[in-house]
Amino acid sequence: MTEANMVRGHRKQSVMLTDTELLEMRARQRTFEGAYWRTAIMAVSTGLLILKVFTKEFYKIGITFFVFGLVMLGIAVLRRRTAGDVFDLSIPFQTSGNWVLLTTIESPKHDDTGTAKRLELSISPASSLGPFRIGTSIWEIINFLRERSSFFPQVELKYSQEDPLGVDFIIDLPQNGLNLRCDGTFQRLRCIECYDISKVKLMYQNNDVSSNRTIPTFLLIYKSFGPTYPGEFDAAESVYTLSYPGLSFTFPIPSRHQELYSSSTELPLEFPDGTTPIASHIFVYNGSQNWRQATLPPLSKYIGETNAAAQGRYGKKGRREVDRVIAEPTVGVTLHFPMGGAATATPDTHSEDSSFSNSTSNSTSVRILLRSTTPQDLLSDLGKPSCIFYKEEDKMRIHSVLGDNPTDKSNRNGGEEEHEATSDSENVVSDENAVDKGIAAAQPTDYFFNYFYLGIDILFDGGLHVCKKIVLHGNIPCHFDFQRYKRCPFALRFPQKQSNNSKDEEILVDVDSSPSSNDIPGTLKIQALKKRIPWSLNNGVNDESKKQKPVILTRGSSEQNPFGSSYLTGYDEGIVMEVMKNGCIPTLVLF
- Find the mean pLDDT for residues 271-276: 83
Give yes or no: residues 399 and 489 share one domain: yes
Last-in-domain residue among 36, 71, 106: 106
Contact 293, 450 (CB under 8 A): no
Give yes or no: residues 213 and 346 share one domain: no
What is the Cα 184 distance to its own chain's centre? 15
Q: Is residue 509 part of a domain?
A: no
For residues 395 and 185, what is the distance between their CA atoms, to the nearest angstrom?
Answer: 32
CA–CA distances in Å: residue 96 to residues 26, 99, 229: 14, 6, 68
For residues 328 and 348, what is the distance between their CA atoms, to the nearest angstrom?
Answer: 13
Q: Is residue 428 part of a domain?
A: no
Indicate the length of the chain as a whole number.
Answer: 591
Range of the domain at 520: 324-417+441-496+514-590
pLDDT in tens, 534-569: 765 443 334 444 556 778 877 766 556 667 788 888
Last-in-domain residue among 48, 82, 106: 106
| Higher pLDDT pick, 433 / 142 | 142
Half-sphere exposure of 167 (CA within 13 A, CB side): 11
Q: Is residue 306 part of a domain?
A: no
Give yes or no: residues 272 and 137 share one domain: yes
Give yes or no: residues 483 and 537 share one domain: yes
Q: Is residue 285 part of a domain?
A: yes
Give yes or no: residues 345 and 490 share one domain: yes
Give yes or no: residues 291 and 330 share one domain: no
Q: Is residue 381 part of a domain?
A: yes
Last-in-domain residue among 297, 316, 338: 297
Surface-to-core class of residue 124, CB atoms within 10 Å of its CB (0-12 exposed, 13-18 middle, 19+ buried): middle
Asked if the model's pLDDT at residue 198 lies above 80, the reply is: yes
Q: Are strands 200-204 and 119-124 parallel, antiparallel or unpaired?
A: parallel
Contact 16, 6 (CB under 8 A): no
Q: Are strands 247-252 and 281-285 parallel, antiparallel or unpaired?
A: antiparallel
Asked if the model's pLDDT at residue 103 lies above 60, the reply is: no
Give yes or no: residues 275 and 364 share one domain: no
pLDDT in tens, 483-503: 999 999 999 998 766 555 544
For residues 278 and 235, what is the distance between their CA atoms, to the nearest angstrom?
Answer: 17
Give yes or no: residues 356 and 395 share one domain: yes
Give yes or no: residues 143 and 259 share one domain: yes
Residue type, 301: K
Q: Is residue 136 part of a domain?
A: yes
CA–CA distances in Å: residue 359 to residues 315, 330, 334, 369, 456: 17, 19, 10, 11, 18
Give the dihedral sign, CA 471/473/479/481.
positive
Q: Which of 293-302, 452-461, 564-573 has the lowest mean pLDDT?
A: 564-573
Contact 522, 491 (CB under 8 A): yes
| Residues sharing a CB contact under 8 Å with residue 483, sequence separation 6 or more, in sequence order | 139, 142, 143, 475
Q: Is residue 265 part of a domain?
A: yes
Looking at the 3D structure of the chain, how many domains does it have? 3
Contact 125, 284 (CB under 8 A): yes
Q: What is the CATH number of the domain that holds 228?
A: 2.60.460
Give yes or no: residues 273 and 159 share one domain: yes
Give the pTM: 0.67
Give yes or no: residues 370 and 467 share one domain: yes
Beta strands in 152-294 (DSSP E): 156-158, 169-173, 178-182, 189-194, 200-204, 207-210, 232-234, 239-244, 247-252, 281-285
* 96: three-class secondary structure by DSSP: strand
Residue type, 578: E
Q: Is residue 114 part of a domain?
A: no
Looking at the chain, the whole-number percentage of residues with pLDDT higher than 70 is: 66
Give yes or no: residues 403 and 531 share one domain: yes
> What's the pLDDT band for 268 if we cut at 50, 70, 90?
confident
Segment holding 328, helix H or strand E: strand 324-328
- pLDDT on residue 400: 55
CA–CA distances in Å: residue 24 to residues 20, 33, 158, 313: 7, 22, 37, 30
For residues 193 and 181, what is the distance between their CA atoms, to the nearest angstrom?
Answer: 8
